């Protein structure tokens, strides 16, 4: 499973040149501010916009290749799309909407797989309604079902949550996690919301002003402070994989393990050994030179500073790796030992005389636990 | 209740038949032209638009005259139709239907075009990604979504053709039982000495018919809207 995109596109006052490869299934976030060209890029993969140059390929299925004059029509591309504005057919029932693609596709999904999608999306009770009687969340579930039942090679989700309020978003997110974990279909997920990226994505493509800036695993990308400034709304932080090991007797907190480090988070209500994804924003991390005592923060991690970066404004970003052993910085680069980022004021930085290789303590004010981590 | 005379019933039924046939025969063409105007991008679109709207602007008598030149039995097109299909328009109710169809054509096209232009283009894109080709999209999306407009257009055109006078009398004359529709019957009654009462009765009939038509169209539109909302 792979998606390869390398395209150029020019309009009068908008140019786009994008290049990225995604080698695995799972969710790839196409992340960037509004107007950066995300939707145009997705429309090119779907065939709704024609690039001026380049090629687009899904697995070994070439969708577009300028030099060979290949430009597959939309309906032969086998892409499933979920649009921001759901685009359900208003004159058809939910059932007819759901099976619109399936009825037209010679490569149908087996009956039991169709059923498992319908069961998962929990839309059986909506079948005979018209779309205009559904809530925003229900509409997006039906739109997701309609795309999935057409048995596509790739799923393109163009800001599927952006028109929903917070509660509706929380309602849809678990369905997307289920998709990521239970269906072997690559998903390209367009968003400008970093919390969605942190929660859902495995890979990340950062795009700004029509250019792809970087591509990589979400764990690496979210920590890159250089992208933070470029991509505007990018709220730098760290995504850490962790495992639940136990809980306290009163079930007030859960104990997690991240590398060799033990972490405490509010009780998760999940079984031990469950793997979860933590998102720690850089501005929620403080730095102390000595281990602070009598402090409300639960997580104080011995770390070694690997890098200090200036940011625009009066802050600096401090990258630290877990552990204070002599070769900690080396291990962070070679063996993937977890890193964490802190954003502090320049003044604090110089007051503490912070510098690379220094051994300090990262004090984490709050941790967001983002859904279940995919087991690989 | 006042009972109608045989001549009045004849005129009423003739009017209904001519308008009905005119609208029904013109409808497929109206859908095609409206689709071309609303969704097509081709050279000459503006000219097609102008030609379709011509009957709205031209005096009906001129339309009748043009039809006479085009479809008279001695005109090339009229002669050809007569010889090949045994289709004669002059002095015949079919001619009246043809005149009505052409004169009421712009009403149909305008209503259908408007509803076609209101369809969200994104729906077509969605259908395309789901594997629907152009013809498939036309029948599964365009037609059903434009249905309220098509019905509204047909009703307006039917009403407009019930009132057609100038084009009919110029093209196919005023033959009782063949081309004498309600408006022509009223005209005849007024021209006849002592025909004031007959004219008044026919006028009342026309008014009644118009009201019934309005009522029915309103009911039909309500049902469509209700169905679309449920």
Secondary structure (DSSP) of A134-175: S-HHHHHHHHHHHHHHT--SEEEEESTTTTS-HHHHHHHHHH
Residue A233 in domain: no
Neighboring chain B residues of A46 at a CB cutoff of 8 Å: 125, 129
- From A228, A248, A280, the end of a domain falls on A228
Q: What is the pairing mode between strands A203-208 and A27-31?
A: parallel
Distance CA A3, CA A20 (A): 8
Q: Which two tokens stand for residue A196?
A: 């969605």
Distance CA B29, CA B2 (A): 41
Residue B150 in domain: yes
Q: How many CB atoms lie within 10 A of CB A23?
A: 10
Q: Which of A101, A104, A130 faces B230 most closely, judged by CB atoms?
A: A130
Q: What is the DSSP letter of B141?
A: I
φ, ψ of residue B69 in degrees (nearest 5) = -65, -40
pLDDT of the residue at A229: 55
Residue B198 in domain: no
What CATH number should be reported for the domain holding residue A310?
Answer: 2.40.50.100
Q: Residue A46's closest chain B neighbor by CA?
A: B129
Number of domains in chain A: 2
pTM over 0.80, yes/no? no
User: Which domain covers residue A138, as residue numbers?
Assistant: 3-228
**Are A89 and B129 a contacting pair at CB < 8 A?**
no
On whether both A177 and A106 belong to a single domain, the answer is: yes
The answer to whether residue A90 neighbours chain B at the CB level (below 8 Å) is yes
Distance CA B67, CA B75 (A): 10
| A92 contacts A100 by C-beta, under 8 angstroms | yes
Number of domains in chain B: 1
On whether both A223 and A251 belong to a single domain, the answer is: no
Alpha carbon of B31 to those of A175, B21, B92, B97: distances in Å?
Answer: 42, 16, 27, 18
pLDDT of the residue at A231: 45
User: Which domain covers residue B123, as residue numbers?
Assistant: 6-182
pLDDT of the residue at A190: 93
Neighboring chain A residues of B138 at a CB cutoff of 8 Å: none
Residue B223 in domain: no
On whether both A164 and A282 belong to a single domain, the answer is: no
Distance CA A338, CA B60 (A): 85
Please name which of B25, B26, B31 lies closest in space to residue B138, comparing C-alpha atoms. B31
The answer to whether residue B143 neighbours chain A at the CB level (below 8 Å) is no
- From A175, A205, A228, the end of a domain falls on A228
φ, ψ of residue A55 in degrees (nearest 5) = -145, 155
Residue A289 in domain: yes
DSSP calls for A322-356: E--STTHHHHHHHS---EEEEEEEHHHHHHTT--T
Residue B212 in domain: no
The answer to whether residue B194 neighbours chain A at the CB level (below 8 Å) is no
Q: Which residues, including other chains, have CB under 8 Å from residue A212's CB and lie 6 or more apart?
A: A17, A18, A19, A20, A205, A206
Query: What distance in Å separates residue B140's CA from the closest CA in chain A?
Result: 9
Residue A234 in domain: no
Residue A50 in domain: yes
On whether both A63 and A192 belong to a single domain, the answer is: yes
On whether both A177 and A201 belong to a single domain, the answer is: yes
Q: Which of A46, A91, A146 faces B228 most closely, judged by CB atoms?
A: A91
Distance CA B60, CA B58 (A): 6
Q: Which residues pair with A10 in a beta bridge?
A: A15
pLDDT of the residue at A225: 61
Give CA B127 to chain center in angstroms: 33
**Are B131 and A146 a contacting pair at CB < 8 A?**
no
On whether both A278 and A205 belong to a single domain, the answer is: no
Q: Which residue matches tokens 């690997």? A: A306
Choosing among B115, B120, B130, B140, which should be mutated to test the A contact, i.e. which has the most A CBs within 10 A?
A: B130
- From A201, A228, A255, the end of a domain falls on A228
| pLDDT (mean) for B113-131 | 93
Query: What distance in Å separates residue B47's CA from the closest CA in chain A?
Result: 30
| pLDDT (mean) for B68-79 | 83
Per-residue model confidence as pLDDT tens for chain A (376 residues): 688 889 989 887 888 898 988 877 789 999 888 888 889 999 999 999 999 999 999 888 899 999 999 999 998 899 999 998 899 999 999 999 999 999 998 888 889 889 989 988 889 899 999 999 998 889 999 999 999 999 998 999 999 888 888 888 888 888 888 888 888 888 999 988 877 888 888 888 988 888 888 888 887 777 676 665 554 445 667 888 888 888 888 878 888 888 888 888 888 777 777 778 888 888 888 999 998 888 888 889 999 998 888 877 788 888 888 888 877 777 777 777 788 888 889 999 889 999 888 999 999 877 766 655 544 3
Coil/strand/helix, residue B89: coil
| A337 contacts A328 by C-beta, under 8 angstroms | yes
Distance CA B150, CA A80 (A): 32
| A363 contacts A290 by C-beta, under 8 angstroms | no
Residue A306 in domain: yes
On whether both A28 and A120 belong to a single domain, the answer is: yes
Residue B114 in domain: yes
On whether both A94 and A189 belong to a single domain, the answer is: yes
What CATH number should be reported for the domain holding residue B65?
Answer: 1.10.3720.10
Q: pLDDT (tens digit, 9 = 90+) per residue, B166-218?
A: 999 999 989 888 899 999 999 999 999 988 899 999 999 999 988 888 888 88
What CATH number should be reported for the domain holding residue A94?
Answer: 3.40.50.300
On whether both A251 and A366 belong to a single domain, the answer is: yes
Neighboring chain A residues of B228 at a CB cutoff of 8 Å: 90-91, 130
Q: Which of B123, B125, B130 faces A150 most closely, judged by CB atoms?
A: B130
The answer to whether residue B130 neighbours chain A at the CB level (below 8 Å) is yes
On whether both A37 and A157 belong to a single domain, the answer is: yes
Coil/strand/helix, residue B197: helix
**Are B122 and A85 a contacting pair at CB < 8 A?**
yes
Size of interface A-B (CB pairs under 8 A): 63
Residue A123 in domain: yes
Q: Which two tokens stand for residue A249?
A: 């007797």
């Amino acid at each position: 499973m792979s998606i390869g995109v390398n395209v150029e596109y020019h309009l009068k006052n908008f140019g786009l040149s994008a290049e990225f490869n995604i080698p695995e299934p799972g969710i790839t976030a196409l992340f960037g501010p509004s107007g950066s060209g995300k939707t145009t890029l997705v429309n090119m993969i779907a065939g709704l916009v024609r690039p001026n140059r380049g090629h687009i390929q899904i697995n070994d299925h070439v969708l577009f290749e300028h030099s060979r004059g290949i430009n597959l029509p939309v309906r032969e591309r086998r892409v499933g799309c979920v649009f921001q504005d759901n685009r359900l057919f208003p004159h058809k029932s939910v059932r007819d909407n759901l099976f619109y693609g399936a009825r037209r596709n010679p490569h149908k999904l087996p009956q039991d797989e169709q059923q498992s999608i319908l069961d998962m999306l929990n839309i059986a009770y909506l079948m005979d309604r018209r779309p205009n009687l559904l809530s925003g969340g229900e509409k997006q579930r039906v739109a997701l079902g309609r795309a999935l039942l057409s048995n596509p090679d790739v799923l393109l989700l163009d800001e599927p949550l952006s028109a929903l309020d917070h509660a509706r978003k929380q309602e849809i997110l678990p369905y997307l996690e289920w998709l990521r974990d239970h269906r072997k279909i690559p998903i390209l997920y367009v968003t400008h919301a970093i919390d969605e990226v942190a929660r859902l994505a495995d890979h990340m493509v950062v795009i700004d002003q029509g250019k792809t800036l970087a591509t990589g695993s979400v764990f690496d990308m979210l920590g890159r402070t250089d992208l933070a400034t470029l991509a505007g709304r990018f709220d730098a932080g760290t995504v850490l994989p962790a495992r639940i090991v136990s809980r306290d007797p009163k079930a007030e907190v859960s104990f997690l393990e991240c590398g060799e480090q033990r972490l405490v988070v509010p009780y998760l209500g999940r079984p031990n050994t469950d793997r979860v994804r933590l998102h720690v924003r850089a501005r929620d991390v403080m730095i102390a030179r000595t281990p602070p005592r009598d402090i409300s923060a639960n997580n104080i991690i011995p770390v070694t500073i690997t890098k200090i970066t200036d940011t625009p404004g009066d802050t600096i970003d401090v990258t630290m790796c877990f552990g204070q052993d002599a070769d900690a910085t080396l291990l962070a680069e070679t063996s993937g030992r977890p890193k964490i980022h802190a954003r502090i004021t320049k003044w604090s930085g110089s007051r503490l005389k912070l510098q690379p290789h220094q051994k300090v303590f990262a004090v984490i004010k709050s941790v967001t636990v983002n859904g279940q981590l995919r087991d690989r | 209740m006042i009972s109608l005379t045989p001549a009045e019933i004849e005129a009423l039924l003739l009017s209904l038949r001519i308008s009905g046939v005119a609208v029904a025969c013109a409808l497929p063409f109206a859908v095609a032209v409206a689709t071309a105007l609303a969704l097509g991008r081709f050279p000459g679109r503006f000219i097609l638009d102008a030609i379709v709207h011509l009957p709205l602007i031209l005096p009906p008598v001129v339309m009748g005259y043009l039809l006479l030149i085009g479809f008279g039995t001695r005109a090339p097109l009229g002669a050809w139709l007569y010889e090949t299909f045994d289709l004669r328009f002059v002095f015949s109710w079919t001619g009246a239907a043809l005149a009505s169809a052409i004169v009421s054509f712009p009403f149909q096209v305008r209503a259908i075009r408007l509803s076609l232009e209101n369809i969200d283009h994104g729906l077509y894109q969605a259908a395309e990604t789901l594997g629907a080709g152009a013809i498939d999209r036309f029948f599964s999306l365009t037609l059903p979504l434009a249905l309220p407009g098509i019905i509204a257009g047909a009703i307006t055109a039917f009403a407009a053709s019930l009132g057609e006078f100038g084009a009919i009398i110029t093209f196919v004359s005023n033959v009782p039982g063949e081309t004498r529709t309600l408006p022509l019957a009223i005209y005849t009654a007024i021209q006849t000495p002592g025909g004031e009462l007959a004219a008044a009765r026919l006028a009342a009939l026309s008014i009644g018919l118009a009201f019934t038509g309005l009522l029915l169209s309103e009911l039909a539109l309500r049902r469509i809207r209700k169905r679309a909302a449920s």
